[in-house]
Structure formats: C-alpha cells, structure tokens
Amino acid sequence: MNVFFSVAWAANQTAPSAPATPTATPNVFAQFLPLIFIILIFYFLLIVPQQRRQKAQRELWEGLKKGDRVVTVGGIHGTIAQVEGEEVLLEVAKDVRIRVSKSAVASKKS
C-alpha cells in the first residue's frame, strides 16, 4: 500500500506546473453558429417540404367534387359519386359504392 502512495506523491513532485498563460475568451456567437447552421439546414430540408406537402394534400381534399377520378391510400381506384362533409361516396364499379373519408383520398387521377 505504501508503494501506491509513494508513486502518487512522486508524480505530484516531479511535474512542475507551467506558468499560467492568459487565454482568450471564446465568442459565444461563434460557439453557437454551427448549432444555428444545423437547425437552419433541418428547417429547410425537412420542415418546409413537409409543410408544402400538407398544404397540397389539404387543397386536394377541399377541391374534391363529383366526377373526380381518385386513388385512396389503400390503393382503391374509383370515381367520386357524392361529397358529403368529410366523407365521399366512391364508385369503384358499376353500382358498387363505398363511403370513405376525404383524408383517405391520396391523389387524383388524370
């Protein structure tokens, strides 16, 4: 046990401390600049395109009318027979109609 104490004491005695040199204080703005840059990149690459897609989807749902050919998120193709509030009546075959939510419509077909 004395060996450990003597080694620790010797390590403290042999390493002379260097004279303290004044260090320049870093600029706070310069430290946060990379973080701000990363946040801006995420905003323009992820958030803005997602907001555009949501706006386009909302406009699609609001513009649905009778006779539009649409595809649902489940892959069902059909023609809108009737629009009732937040639901549409979708004709998928002759005399076969299903009621789906407007939010289930993924896209219009040309």
Considering only residues 101 and 31, tell me which one the structure prediction assigns the higher pLDDT. Answer: 101
Considering only residues 27 and 94, tell me which one the structure prediction assigns the higher pLDDT. Answer: 94
CATH of domain 31-108: 2.30.30
7 has a pLDDT exceeding 70: no
Average pLDDT of the chain is 86
pTM of the model: 0.64
77 has a pLDDT exceeding 60: yes
List own/partner pairs for 69-77 with CB under 8 A and 24 or more apart.
Answer: 69/108, 69/109, 69/110, 70/105, 70/106, 70/107, 70/108, 70/109, 71/105, 71/106, 71/107, 71/108, 71/109, 72/100, 72/104, 72/105, 72/106, 73/104, 73/105, 73/106, 74/104, 76/100, 77/109
pLDDT of residue 30: 85
